[in-house]
Amino acid sequence: MLDNHVRPTYNDIHNLIKDISEKIAAEFAPDLLIAIGTVLVLYALTRTSGFFPARVMRTYLKDPSTKRNIPIHAIGLSLYESLPGTTEEQVGNEVIRTQWLGPESKILLGRRALIIDEVDDSRQTLHYAISELQKDVERELQALPESERDAARTRFAVFVVHNKLKPKVKDLPIDIPYYTGAEVPDVWLDYPWEGNEHDRLATLAKSK
């Protein structure tokens, strides 16, 4: 780590998720996964972020009532990318929504939804995701008879592959279960699904 970079492999991440999945199943038992990524189809911009971890997590978690695979839904959020239409002041300071559940928000009602991302850095993205999803749930609940609302409330939890041990800009609600695969210092994390790191690993594999 001489260059202040940590380069976890696919196998490292797979094992971290495998190790924490049993705890998540026992304590939270999610029946819906929400992966955070950056998605801007019009401009062909995609970033895996929580998509790969969510897919691996689904390998180890099954719906507690049906024992079938848990559905994965995606939301697109960007904090550090410079996107079309954003200003320099927004990059790193404001979470930009690039994809959302839209009319599908009602699928959250009555579910135990696990929100998944690759890293908890400043906590801004996670804070935004939970706050906005909770607003969606409250809006949908208002359409139900008051007697049905408590049973239809959504429970949320968070899983990140890595949590950086650093002061956070935002907080999460204290009643939201929080799970992490590993805690790391405030270093650069080069994930294997990122372009440059993917190319480096491919070149390294060819040389062996």
Which of the following is catalytic: 31, 117, 121, 136?
121
Distance of CA 192 to the CA centre of its chain: 16
Within 8 A by CB and 6+ apart from 167, the residues are: none
H-only helix segments in 33-184: 51-60, 124-141, 146-152
The pairing of beta strand 72-78 with beta strand 96-99: antiparallel
Kind and range of the H or E run holding 204: helix 195-207
SS3 28: coil
DSSP 42: G
Q: Would you call 12 a catalytic residue per the annotation? A: no
Q: Are 81 and 91 in contact (CB under 8 A)?
A: yes
> Which residues are designated catalytic?
121
